[in-house]
Structure 1
Amino acid sequence: MFFCPLFTPTLFRVNPPITYIRFLHAIPSALNIDIYLNDRLMASNLSFKKFTEYSPIAPGYYTLKIFVSGKTSNPIIDTSFFATPNNIFTAAAAGNLNNIHLKLIEDIPMTIVPGTTMIRFIHLSPDTPTVNVALTSREGIIFNNVSFGEVTNYQQVSPGHYGIQITAAHSGSVILIVPSTPFGPNKFYSIYAVGLSAGNPPLQVLLPLDGNSYLKV
């Protein structure tokens, strides 16, 4: 029998690294869009406020092009990014019609204290000033001085029903109140502010369940 001292047989299979990505149309007043990743169609006719499902992709560099739906020339976004391994992302088309850009948001894989809920705030309303965000059944502000494009850290709260109040950080004036909404245990949520505070479509929030609630990387 031949024996090679430099060869060690694999005793278990190592799963290849994987990354998950979903897409969000957060450009107020923009038409529906088509999204291409490395020239592969990932989303067709995506309308404002809509998310795609998460898709698994291999880690690495990607080119991303976004077109008005049905077009394949003159992309409104033409950029590239690196998808790190074992991670989860939301790629948001954001900004206003004069300054459209890609906002890559990490849905941070992390442990959660059993029986608790994790919430963060993402400011994607281009005409809304810096804001404070409070949960109306809790005392005090939970997120302070969040400007357009910023993503807060997650905050731990008890599961339950919470209203959301968004106020201007400089004046304290109320910009938006969202009625009581359920937040379940052992889950991660992002509160996305989208739309316009002084125009149409009006300012509103999106409350998707983040992928780190149920995806394993």
Structure 2
Amino acid sequence: MKIRLNEESSYIRFLNATPNSNQIEIYMNDNMVFKDVDYKEFTSYIPTIPGNYIVRVYESENKEDILLEQDITIAKGNIATLVLSGMTPKLIMFAVFEDPNELVGEGNSKFRIANLSPTSLPVDLIVNNVKMIDEIPFGKRTNYAEVPSGLYDFVVKESEIDMDLNETKTQISNKVEIKNGKIYTIYVVGDSPSLEMVQSLDVTTFI
């Protein structure tokens, strides 16, 4: 899929990161823009005229109970993933912005990580047995790290900060392929202790 960027427009997509949700419908200014969005599913990017919008989210085929109603302002040239998180029946939304001008050195790739688990403690990222990032709180993402392309062992575990001595830290591990010249965001999702990593290519991949 190729995206031809129009500098007068913005481009947004949504991610359903709500662990206990059914399929959802997403409305912007009373117009349904996406329907039947599953948990962990990204929508496609859509060109969006800059301006003010009211985003409303419902369970699919059920407009009786609103899960989210939020005013947003989209500025010219914004490219973002609008993340729907929290636990139903009360959702929250925040934006993970992308930079189409982000550059990658030859033979390298870039990645960053976002903690989208509403029930986890802050998380640490360990790559190939080396701790890279400490204490990423819910709703926050890191800056990009540039690394040689290749296959990496990623471990995400809950930080020890604010943890009771008798608590067991949640830990997940994945083999993550970072391809040459690509830029990724890795989203940590789920209801702790059932966490998962979801790897997604940023918009620069599609330009």
Residue 189 of structure 2 is aligned to residue 194 of structure 1 = yes
Judging changes above 3 Å, is the alpha-carbon distance between structure 1 residues 44 and 132 closer, same or farther for their aligned structure 2 residues?
Answer: same
Counterpart in 2 of 1:4? none
Using the size of structure 1 for normalisation, the TM-score is 0.83
Using the size of structure 2 for normalisation, the TM-score is 0.87
Judging changes above 3 Å, is the alpha-carbon distance between structure 1 residues 16 and 152 closer, same or farther for their aligned structure 2 residues?
Answer: closer
Residue 147 of structure 2 is aligned to residue 157 of structure 1 = yes
1:106 positional shift: 0.5
In 2, Cα distance between the equivalents of 1:180 and 1:74? 39
CA contact 2:158–2:171 (8 Å) conserved in 1: no
Counterpart in 1 of 2:122? 130
Residue 18 of structure 2 is aligned to residue 23 of structure 1 = no
In 2, Cα distance between the equivalents of 1:56 and 1:166? 34
Deviations 1:73-113 (A, max 9, x none): 43211111111212211011101226411111102232222
Unaligned runs of 5+ residues in structure 1 are 1-14
| Secondary structure, counterpart of 1:213 in structure 2 | helix
AA partner of residue 180 (structure 1)? K
CA contact 2:59–2:67 (8 Å) conserved in 1: yes
| Secondary structure, counterpart of 2:201 in structure 1 | coil
In 2, Cα distance between the equivalents of 1:84 and 1:186? 28
CA contact 1:60–1:83 (8 Å) conserved in 2: yes
1:35 positional shift: 0.4
Judging changes above 3 Å, is the alpha-carbon distance between structure 1 residues 118 and 44 closer, same or farther for their aligned structure 2 residues?
Answer: same
Residue 185 of structure 2 is aligned to residue 204 of structure 1 = no
Deviations 1:22-66 (A, max 9, x none): 111111111110001122211111111111111111122111110
Unaligned runs of 5+ residues in structure 2 are 1-5
Q: Which moved more, 1:93-102 or 1:60-69?
A: 93-102
| Secondary structure, counterpart of 1:81 in structure 2 | strand
Counterpart in 1 of 2:174? 179
Q: How many residues align?
A: 196
**Structure 1 residue runs of 4 or more that deviate by more than 4 Å after TM superposition:** 171-174
CA contact 1:163–1:177 (8 Å) conserved in 2: no
In 2, Cα distance between the equivalents of 1:59 and 1:95? 26
Q: Which moved more, 1:66-75 or 1:181-190?
A: 66-75
1:68 positional shift: 0.8
**Larger relative strand fraction:** 2
1:16 positional shift: 5.0
CA contact 2:7–2:77 (8 Å) conserved in 1: no
CA contact 1:160–1:183 (8 Å) conserved in 2: yes
CA contact 2:172–2:195 (8 Å) conserved in 1: no
* Root-mean-square deviation over aligned CA pairs: 1.9
Identity %: 27
